Structure 1
């Protein structure tokens, strides 16, 4: 439901008036989440077949609509060269008739390159060429932060090249896996036929593809071992690659990607030795089949219906359990975000972020940061050395709002409206080029790992910065038409939540200089763990809404729960230190805005899944528990000492000692 600014103001005033009346004070002091979100919950009955409806999910839907509106405008009357590119990309994807006429033509040059392989030495240049257009084959190569020098990005050679998401699929022999592999073999066969393989040879070539992938999988590491970033980190000298892997030609691969670096990470030399041997040992015909298959599978979502149908049947239905593909509009939007996301993000921010909104965000975030500085210095759990390090780290912390501070090079081959698949390759080539440019000294901070059109606030631990995207600068996170007090309660509390991660059990692992070093002593670590244990116990007393007999797993969500408590407390202190928090209405608006972030309706299945796996508490307790621990909430709503929303002072948990 969309409200006008006047209607929003009237509704906020009505809520404040109702909250001040005795009958409604009891309701607010019993379950503030249900009280503050009563209208939302009444208006959002869970539709049949939908697992979750949330306030933040509604924001995501609104953001998608904004992107569609921007692309429609760019298609009809572009205002600059980037919009011209986006408008043509969008138009080419929406024209399904044109996509059908285009058929598999976008693959023509790639398939010609692959079919020209005659000898082993032809294989590595083809692998490099496919990586250049954003189709990683045989292995993965990408830019990421150097774990020993967080100020730079390096290139990482890692395992990949498989059509199935887990190497274990290729080695397990249980009945379910065998059935999946038969479905997979048929899908490979279908793709090969569409790439030009005669029907009479397609089954044999599909077997060759799976044999090659099985060899890659056998040399790959289990996914469970790769959850630790250290497992993918091992620096090697680039000038030694040619001697170690003479058939793969990895040194020439780097040159083709435009990477000029003396070191890269290659943490599984056994895998790359096996790949090097495969280049020399396997016949070129088998490599041609594999590479055609990988290109066809990667590009199938962007080609004609025959390609899209078989791709969804396997990836959508078999692997993901989806019943139907998304709408054509959503498919094209997803493709643009994947290949040209930064282009769309730049234009999205220019269109939807007003200077006044950015200024309000900067004001609130800056004041929450100041409140954190004061809180750290009075924190009795930290000793003098840790406080000094915390102060230095906070002084270096940057807050980046809207878009990354450094823009990209938007020099791109013109797209036109004739070929959606061709445009996808043009955009993917550009995206890969810009990713490769991240590799280099003092270069790690140049881009975000999230797009401006994705609603997100996140603390980037590697670079000690808070990232606030353009899409996050709207209701319910930051309502530019609402009161400043409400902005502290929603946006400010989320800022405090994220900033606290720089100074918690995880943030202690990166110091002020950006080096991986533990700067807490054992007593300080134990003090934090004691607090986290107390928070876990407190949350675990509460029932999971909608799940009879099941309690919140406070241990599973302890880290995020501590951050919620910390964020609300910091935002409250920041508001009190400003000129915005002295009036009763402002105080109630603060708490109502916090509650407005978390309304949700979940199916039983979704609630059960989240109860077992989510690092966050359910919305009811994300709202209520931080407020139960803040005496100012009970004072603002006139709660009695016996009310559920007002914990006894001895039971109130404070992440930061009160000023």
Structure 2
């Protein structure tokens, strides 16, 4: 998909090991037995050189496991954050570069083949000489089209066309499963059109946010001036004022998480009444979505207010706004002046990056988003073994069995709700490594000398593929991530958990490593994704993916009491500038982490079949399990990126994903002998257990 729309943002044993033993509970098992145990399990899988023995695991578990790494790691100049995920992402990136370069070296590639498209897309991005020569020419006709607007009646068709190119407007639409009728596809309408990362950026009064707003207006002005706007300062003020009005009407991210509140099914006629003056039928026709069975409006009062904003905004101001949106969207693909200006604000000011990413990396990124499954197929052939997939199948099976057992052991849930939960768990679909059916790119045209055209066509291809789902059966083979993505996800409407190949490697998963560490690492990730099916929002869907209430009133109340305690816990974390983690925004991910690690621990214990885990290098099995979790979240953040994360990201920062979870688990308390007065101590009555 479009590069401009989707930027990639989702340790020496020896003496150190001896020091660590002073702060960890150990076993009296004989050294010979320890050596034999490690030989049986392969390598340890724990990166001991990253540990900081000056920090006790009873006080700050994250720093104990990652402290030396945090002191010695260097943030790459082209990154806003760094850590395990970025290390693996760069490994994946280098693998893709090798694939692309080998493809480009092939001679006599036939036009229209996947290989030709990979070669020419990358070549179009790397041809900086041609990009410089073209200047603003690739979007000249689009700018002229905006300048020629004569009436607001033209907005619907133009907004739809912009959307097909990946250029933001005040609204967006996409096709997805109907949350309450999961056997059909339907169109969703969503608020959009802001140039800052979130609505709150327009209103927060802290000094740094005021500085960002001033820098943003200056960026808009400079971008317009570079494109030839005569009164760029006045135009920039108009644009920021318009976006501020849109932000005032926009829902915040906590409200947008509410799957019931954002489900508002309308007929097209009802939608036109909701937004008078905006011809939805024209918009849907231009979008290619005329045969949608209805429209699910995610923020109805935003769309009601949008009508007034569009009506009261003078046509010249709307032209300025749309001109800016075009320039901002395509600046990374234009000549160096536009590219540098875009990076200075979007990379440096907003996220703190010191340097733009090397061009080859951005070229690989463009191929990844436009032809992801083409290069993904080759990536899997080279970097994902059948043995790894087989081991993952076993791990997922064990985690599901542990979750099933955990449901039955819950003392706060009634038998009726437990039966519904078990039914949902039994219907989980699991996808591991790569798709069974690869995407067909035969209708996508790519040309070596047309970077902006390639981007437009690739984005429109993906949008059309999405719109073409309307009226068709649900495609349960589709993947929402490429195999080379270092991530995983749960989809509530499909009731599926998905684990791309690229995350199935150390430190998350190592087939040669100790089982305890794998259960703490990838096991925690598997448990996390399963738990999303039972978090505050995922639990609203049943086993068939339909949004419906399957809870008794008493059970729902008991669930909400526990989740509210978790909200308060995470609200207390202040990573920077006294800015707190938003416990409500991050609730789903925090439930996923806590419940995921809890169920993974249970699965690890079941895997031992009643036997005691061996002590390896002085560490008990339980300690190694928690080390496995702690080390996968090592991370560094630039200050501006961290501020943005706290406002926009439903995930807590890495250190909090470790410390916020383990202090709730009695198993951790026991494994490390945590006592009242220790930094990680949480009184038993304040600990949260959900699943």
Normalised by the length of structure 2, the TM-score is 0.73
**Is 1:368 the counterpart of 2:399 in the alignment?**
yes
CA distance in 1, matches of 2:221, 2:564: 54
CA separation of 1:654 and 1:374: change in aligned 2, threshold 3 A: farther
Structure 2: distance between partners of 1:127 and 1:441: 26
2:600 aligns with 568
Q: Return the alpha-carbon distance in structure 1 between the equivalents of residues 668 and 246 of structure 2.
A: 55
Q: Which of 43, 49, 53 does residue 39 from structure 1 map onto?
A: 49
CA–CA distance in structure 1, aligned partners of residues 596 and 381 of structure 2: 31
For residue 25 of structure 2, what is the aligned residue in structure 1?
Answer: 29
Q: Which of these residues, 195, 216, 236, is aligned with residue 266 of structure 2? A: 236
What is the alpha-carbon distance in structure 2 between the residues aligned to residue 531 and residue 378 of structure 1?
16
Determine the structure 2 residue equivalent to 1:329. Answer: 360
Choose 1 or 2 for highest CA Rg: 1
Instruction: Quote the Cα distance in structure 1 between the aligned partners of 2:311 and 2:640.
Output: 47
Task: Indicate the residue corresponding to 1:302 in structure 2.
Answer: 333
Q: Give the gaps of 5 or more residues in structure 1.
A: 1-10
In the TM superposition, 1:42-441 aligns within 5 A as 45-47=71-73, 54-77=83-106, 81-166=113-198, 183-195=215-227, 197=228, 200=230, 202=232, 206=236, 209=239, 213=243, 216=246, 220=250, 225-239=255-269, 248-259=278-289, 260-266=291-297, 267=300, 268-274=302-308, 277=311, 282-283=314-315, 286-405=317-436, 407-440=438-471
2-structure distance, mates of 1:227, 1:65: 35
User: 2:220 touches 2:324 (CA, 8 Å); kept in 1?
Assistant: yes
1:494 aligns with 2:525: yes
Q: What is residue 495 of structure 2 aligned with on the other side? A: 464
Q: 1:626 to 1:577 in 2, by over 3 A?
A: farther
Aligned residue pairs: how many?
Answer: 626
Query: In the aligned structure 1, how far is the partner of 2:435 from the partner of 2:288?
Result: 23
Q: Per-residue displacement from partner, 1:336-382 (whole Å, max 9, x unpaired)? A: 44444455444433442222211211122122212322333344443
CA distance in 2, matches of 1:138, 1:146: 23
C-alpha distance in 1 between matches for 2:47 and 2:658: 10
Q: Is the CA contact (8 Å cut-off) linking 2:349 and 2:640 kept in structure 1? A: no
The structure-2 alpha-carbon separation of the partners of 1:478 and 1:310, relative to structure 1 and needing over 3 Å to count, comes to: same
Indicate yes or no: 2:667 matched with 1:629: yes
**Secondary structure, aligned partner of 2:550:** coil
| Cα distance, 1:499 vs structure 2 | 1.8
Deviation at 1:493, TM superposition (A): 3.6
Q: Structure 1 residues 106 and 480 mapped into 2: Cα distance closer, same or farther (>3 Å)?
A: farther
Q: Say which SS state the counterpart of residue 521 (structure 2) adopts.
A: helix
Higher relative contact order (CA 8 A, sep 6+): 2
Gaps of 5+ in 2: 1-10, 28-43, 52-67
Tell me the secondary structure at the aligned position of residue 117 of structure 1.
Answer: coil
Is the Cα contact below 8 Å between 2:277 and 2:307 reproduced in 1?
no
Deviates more, 1:138-147 or 1:608-617: 608-617
In the alignment, is the contact (CA less than 8 A) between 2:351 and 2:638 conserved in 1? Answer: no
Please state how far the C-alpha of 1:36 moved relative to its aligned partner: 4.8
Give the structure with the larger helix fraction.
1
2:275 touches 2:303 (CA, 8 Å); kept in 1?
A: no
Partners of 1:591 and 1:176 lie apart in 2 by: 41
Task: Check conservation: 2:331, 2:338, Cα contact below 8 A.
Answer: yes
Q: Secondary structure at the match of 1:29?
A: coil
Structure 1 residues 150 and 617: alpha-carbon distance in aligned structure 2, compared to 1, 3 A threshold:
farther
Cα offsets for 1:551-581 (capped at 9, x unmatched): 9999988635632542332321442359x99
Q: Is the 8 A contact 1:510 1:517 kept in 2?
A: yes
- Cα contact 1:339–1:428 (8 A) shared by 2: yes
Deviations 1:194-224 (A, max 9, x none): 44x4x54555655665565566556555666
| TM-score (norm: length of structure 1) | 0.76
